[in-house]
Amino acid sequence: MKTKKEIVDNWLPRYTGTPISDFGEYIILVNFNNYVEMFAEWHQVPIMGKNKAMSSATAENITIVNFGMGSPNAGTIVDLLTAVAPKAALFLGKCGGLKTGKNHVGDLILPIAAIRGEGTSNDYLPAEVPALPAFALQKAISTTIRDYNRDYWTGTVYTTNKRVWEHREDFKEYLATLRPIAIDMETATIFVAAFKNQIPAGALLLVSDMPMVPEGVKTDESDQSVTANFVELHLKIGIDSLKQLINNSLTVKHLQF
């Protein structure tokens, strides 16, 4: 029987097109290829794995990976990253804002925890274990956001495996009882899988829609507007947050694994 190390050592390059020796010590995880394209263009580096499941690019000790969408993919990439044992992994994801009248499209959300509604994280740790980020990484992101003269919301994110739920009033009522600030499909999985695998992980989410009201549900047109107006800043803050850790040689392991 093959060991986990043998599997991930083979699969990480197979999925990303990047040899293990070429990975940076710091990782940015994204759901969309335009983030990888911008990163590669800014740093004048090639995009690896264009014909693979997860395209990637590496520059200045940072590797960005588009792992796709959903909690199973999120768990998969975290498992595969154990092949390189990164010093930190930062998820830059899009989310739905749940506080109508308070949140707005384009807002940044720095989650302090995630609610494990997706199911995938149960394969890593019991349901009683909270989904938490590495505190020092979230602190670095907070500082970077302020350096850009921007503000952010903080709170709990609900992670779901349901993609088309915006028509379901029963699910919206359930969300309201939990009082999360946003909803996505990956954050809780990344936090729990990373904790299980002893990888310090954090997240910075971009509000891309306001799905609790009909007029706020994401469309192709509204998503294009978010990409044009907010994604570049989202990625810049993520890169600079990791560079802050790199340049200051700070550890982001706030817990004894």
Smallest Cα–Cα separation from 201: which of 127, 121, 146? 121
The mean pLDDT value of the chain amounts to 93
Question: Given a cut of 60, is residue 109 above it in pLDDT?
Answer: yes
Q: Is residue 216 part of a domain?
A: yes
Q: Is residue 155 part of a domain?
A: yes
Write the pLDDT tens digit of every residue in 128-175: 999 999 998 999 999 999 999 999 999 999 999 998 998 999 999 999
Neighbours of 143 (CB within 10 A): 12
Beta carbons of 145 and 230 less than 8 angstroms apart: no
Structural domain count of the chain: 1
Percent of the chain with pLDDT over 90: 83
pLDDT band at residue 210 using 50, 70 and 90 as cut-offs: very high
**β-strand pairing of 62-66 with 56-59:** antiparallel
Beta carbons of 161 and 118 less than 8 angstroms apart: yes
DSSP 198-232: T--EEEEEEEEE-TTSGGGS--HHHHHHHHHHHHH
Question: Given a cut of 50, is residue 257 above it in pLDDT?
Answer: no
Q: Is residue 255 part of a domain?
A: no
CATH number of residue 186's parent domain: 3.40.50.1580
pLDDT score of 110: 98
Place of tokens 């190390």: 5
Neighbours of 216 (CB within 10 A): 17
Among the residues of 23-87, which ranges form H helices? 33-43, 71-81
pLDDT score of 252: 60
The domain of 44 spans 4-248
Q: Is residue 256 part of a domain?
A: no
Q: Is residue 254 part of a domain?
A: no
Q: Is residue 257 part of a domain?
A: no
pLDDT score of 223: 80
Question: Given a cut of 90, is residue 199 above it in pLDDT?
Answer: yes
Residues 118 and 158: their CA atoms lie apart, in Å, by: 9
Percent of the chain with pLDDT over 70: 96
Q: Which residues, listed in sequence order, are joined to residue 66 by a DSSP beta bridge?
A: 30
